[in-house]
Amino acid sequence: MLRHLNKLRLATLTLIFAALILLPFLSIYQSYRAAYAYDLLAPTEQRLYDAMEWLTESFTNDPAEDLDAIKGTTWSASIFDLKLSDPLAVVGQIAAGARVYSPFLLSALIPIILTVLLGRFFCGWVCPATLLYEINSALSRWLRALGLRSPTRHFDLRFKYGVLAVGLLLSVATGSIFFAIIYPPAIIGRELYYAIALGGFGAGTVFFALTLLFDLLVARRGFCRYLCPGGALYSLLGRYRLLRIARKVEQCNDCTKCDVVCEFGLLPMRDGFGQECNNCTACMAVCPTDALAFRIALTDLPAQGAGHLGRTHLRHGAAHTPGEN
């Protein structure tokens, strides 16, 4: 059962990305509706109108008003009058303005609670940039098949905390929210809106393309792992998360598939999860012996040694396996 969670995750990511594309089109459609302008539209605009009308007419009586129910991006959204914001936006705003606006702080409460319980789940399950980064990782595997060197550089994982700290300092110093221009999910949501509704990408697209190149040529998922300030914040918030992936040493056969598949370069086969793990469940999906499962605990299991189905354990016996009762 657990091995299908990764498909659910990819479906969720795709759905969120599709919503970010659909919402600007709905916004345009609403403005056409509000102006009663069908007869004045160009043929292409009429096609857009017809398509959106076909999509939404069974849900709405008054599209111009009712379609306001779901608006926004993952940076900040308004869903049926419930306002949800990215915790990083709140932290950045507090730093930039040197004051707390409590309604905005409250809008980040649900994401903060979820992050404390589930860790960096946003990075694996929600972030619209993750979909593109994972496609980018697949692209780098194809390029390797063509003979290009794969991105294998490693940096210090603590770099992203430096980015978070520097971003806060810059926000305090300049009075503008610096995270908004380098944080990929904020960039994606915004740039899709700019491209569709305002007719042109902004500068964020260039920056995002640079991060894709960095991932493709220098370090696999390098931006998320080493530079993303949001990832840094969620890693800190989710340090003592309750839901963790843990290895059942009795079922592990040391095949290393999980270590290879982990986009974040973690080592599930050696019980190395830590605060970087975003519970994406990709390792569960590839495990041939179902040795990875969820566990409710505040800390990871200590290193359990070789898997009991693996060659090392079978050769040397149970005496060499720590954590065995």
What values do phi and psi take at 85, rounded to 5? -130, 155
Does 163 participate in binding another protein (rule CB under 8 A)? yes
DSSP string, 60-84: -SSHHHHGGGEEE-SSEEEETTEEE
Does 34 participate in binding another protein (rule CB under 8 A)? yes
Does 49 participate in binding another protein (rule CB under 8 A)? no
Helix (H) or strand (E) holding 43: helix 43-56
Does 233 participate in binding another protein (rule CB under 8 A)? no
Does 87 participate in binding another protein (rule CB under 8 A)? no
Pair 30, 67: CB distance under 8 Å: yes
- Residues 6 or more apart whose CB falls under 8 angstroms from that of 200 comprise 194
Smallest gap, in angstroms, from Cβ of residue 70 to another protein?
Answer: 10
Pair 274, 303: CB distance under 8 Å: no
User: Is residue 155 classed as helix, strand or coil in its secondary structure?
Assistant: coil
Nearer to another protein, 51 or 203 (CB): 203
Nearer to another protein, 195 or 261 (CB): 195
Does 36 participate in binding another protein (rule CB under 8 A)? no
Nearer to another protein, 89 or 306 (CB): 89
Does 210 participate in binding another protein (rule CB under 8 A)? yes
Does 22 participate in binding another protein (rule CB under 8 A)? no
CA dihedral 247, 249, 252, 257 (to 10 degrees): 40
What stretches of 76-220 show up as alpha helix (H) in DSSP? 87-97, 102-107, 109-118, 121-125, 128-145, 159-174, 179-182, 184-193, 203-217
Does 25 participate in binding another protein (rule CB under 8 A)? no
Nearer to another protein, 190 or 244 (CB): 190
- Which residue in the set 75, 121, 125, 133 belongs to the binding site for another protein (CB under 8 A)? 75
Nearer to another protein, 194 or 294 (CB): 194
Smallest gap, in angstroms, from Cβ of residue 175 to another protein?
Answer: 4
Does 63 participate in binding another protein (rule CB under 8 A)? no
Q: Cα separation of 155 and 222, whole Å? A: 9
Pair 158, 214: CB distance under 8 Å: no
Does 56 participate in binding another protein (rule CB under 8 A)? no
- Which residue in the set 35, 135, 213, 297 belongs to the binding site for another protein (CB under 8 A)? 35
Chain residues 93-152 in contact with another protein, contact rule CB under 8 A: 93, 96-98, 101, 103-104, 107
Pair 73, 21: CB distance under 8 Å: no
Burial of 113 (0-12, 13-18, 19+ CB in 10 A): exposed
How many residues contact another protein, by CB under 8 A? 63
Pair 49, 41: CB distance under 8 Å: yes
Residues near another protein (CB under 8 A) are 23-24, 27-28, 30-31, 34-35, 64, 68, 71-73, 75-78, 83, 85, 89, 92-93, 96-98, 101, 103-104, 107, 156, 158-159, 162-167, 170, 174-178, 180-182, 186, 189-190, 193-194, 197-198, 200-204, 206-207, 210, 227
